[in-house]
Amino acid sequence: MGPRLGANAYGKAEIRVVKVTRGAERHLLRDLTADVTLRGHFEAVHVDGDNSGLPATDTMRNVVYALAAEHPLESLPDFAAVVAGHFAGLELVELATVRLREQPWERLDAHAWQRGAGGTRVHVAEAGTGGVRHAGGIEELLVLRSSGSGFSGFDRDRYTTLPETEDRILATIVTADWDHAGVPGEDAWAATRDTLLRAFTDHFSPSVQFTLHRMGTAALEADPDLERIHLTLPNRHHLPYDVARFGIDDRGEVFHATSEPFGVIEATVERNR
Report pLDDT for 273: 75
127 contact partners, CB below 8 Å, separation of at least 6: 81, 84, 85, 87, 88, 95, 96, 97, 98
Report pLDDT for 2: 84
Report pLDDT for 119: 96
Report pLDDT for 39: 97
Report pLDDT for 96: 98
Q: How is the chain split into domains, by residue range?
A: 7-129, 130-273
Residue 79 sits at φ, ψ, to 5 deg, of -65, -40
Cis preceding linkage at 206, omega within 30: no
> Would you say 92 and 85 are in contact if contact means Cβ atoms under 8 Å apart?
no
> Would you say 106 and 113 are in contact if contact means Cβ atoms under 8 Å apart?
yes
Q: Could you confirm whether domain 130-273 is CATH 3.40.50.970?
A: no
Mean pLDDT by 10 residues, the chain (273 residues): 92 97 94 98 95 95 98 95 97 97 96 95 96 97 96 95 92 97 97 98 97 98 98 94 94 90 96 86
What residues act catalytically?
Answer: 12, 57, 237
Say how far residue 65 (Cα) sits from the centre of its chain.
23
Q: Do domains 7-129 and 130-273 have the same CATH topology?
A: yes
Report pLDDT for 259: 81
Q: Considering the domain 7-129 in this protein, what is its CATH number?
A: 3.10.270.10
Calpha distance 13→35 (Å, rounded): 4
